[in-house]
Amino acid sequence: MLFVKTNSDATVFEVTKDDTNTLEGWQREDAARLLALYKAYRAAGGLKQDDFAAKYGLRSQANLGHYLHGRRPLNIEQATNFARGLNVPIGEFSPTIAAQIAGAAQAIASHPSTHDDSEFVPVQRLTVRLSAGPGAAAVVEEVEGSLQFRRDFLSSCGATQESARIVHVTGTSMEPTIVNGAVLLVNTRNREPRNGSVFAMAYGDDLIVKRLIQTPDGWVARSDNPDGNPDISMNNAQHVEIIGRAVWMGAKL
């Protein structure tokens, strides 16, 4: 980091190396497709880079520019953020990452008998249902079985067998990201607010799933489907408790 003093304020600049030459050919092709999609999005009246980055979890305009211009390789998380913001499938700009996601999903869904049992762990599936619409009254958590997940997949999500839980989602306020009837993998040890990420939360006597957004007035819980779904303030006047971050979704196709 390079600190430059200007009057009484310290301006911080992040010195980054141009990683263009370290990217593989397919990653540079992904960046070119992504840039073309973003230009078309802007031409249609879409958000400017700084607003886009803030809304869709890309941290900063500079960080967004690194991905658009092939100075930094895309990862699954940021590819998902771009896909959500541009409203396109990941495969439209990165067939390779889309294939990686599909492969991971297939591995998770595979029966453990076809693999070394030690690679898979059961994750408890609870009767709790999270509302993505009008609040769903909290119910007693009861285990109703489990789903098998690869241990290394849970680790890649920052979760463990002990911290991971499977819950159901009802309602449409998080569509198209999370559909009514989906199941979510929630990492209960990840409760630190993160701009643009989806969290399961207790809101009074309700259980909800929303995207956390940092605004000038503080954190709000926001629906991806804005139709009739106002923001929920996370200030001290509201009783909102983060249960954990949603890290995976399974839904009927």
pTM: 0.50
Per-residue 3-state assignment (H helix, E strand, C coil) for the chain = CEEEEECCEEEEECCCCCCHHHCCHHHHHHHHHHHHHHHHHHHCCCCCHHHHHHHCCCCCHHHHHHHHCCCCCCCHHHHHHHHHHHCCCHHHCCHHHHHHHHHHHHHHHCCHHHCCHHHEEEEEEEEEEEECCCCEECCCCCEEEEEEEEHHHHHHCCCCCCCEEEEEEECCCCCCCCCCCCEEEEECCCCCCCCCCEEEEEECCEEEEEEEEEECCEEEEECCCCCCCCCEECCCCCCEEEEEEEEEEECCC
pLDDT classification of 108: cutoffs 50, 70, 90 = low
Specify the pLDDT at position 222.
Answer: 92
Instruction: Name residue 233's amino acid.
Output: S
Provide the pLDDT confidence category of residue 14 given band limits of 50, 70 and 90.
very low
**pLDDT in the model for residue 10:** 33
- Least confident window among 103-107, 109-113, 176-180, 182-186: 109-113
State which fold the 116-250 domain adopts.
Umud Fragment, subunit A (2.10.109)
Domain limits, CATH 1.10.260.40, in the chain: 2-106
Cα distances (angstroms) measured from residue 227 to each of 130, 174, 201, 207 = 19, 10, 20, 20
Q: Is the peptide bond before 176 cis (omega within 30 degrees of 0)?
A: yes
The CATH label, of 2.40.30.10, 1.10.260.40, 1.10.10.1110, 3.40.50.300, for the domain at 2-106 is 1.10.260.40
Most confident of 46-50, 106-110, 119-123: 46-50
pLDDT in tens, 118-132: 588 888 777 656 666
Tell me, what's the pLDDT at 42? 95
pLDDT in tens, 141-160: 445 677 888 888 888 888 88
pLDDT tens per residue across span 162-204: 888 888 888 888 988 888 888 889 998 888 889 999 998 887 7
Question: pLDDT, tens digit, for every residue of 50-90?
Answer: 999 999 888 899 999 999 999 999 988 888 889 999 999 88
Is the pLDDT at 3 greater than 70, yes or no? Answer: no
Residue 71 pLDDT: 92
User: What stretch(es) of the chain map to CATH 2.10.109.10?
Assistant: 116-250
Return the pLDDT at 143. 54
pLDDT digits (tens, 9 = 90+) for 30-44: 999 999 999 999 999
For 201-253, the pLDDT digits (tens) are 887 767 888 999 999 988 999 999 888 788 888 876 557 788 899 998 886 55
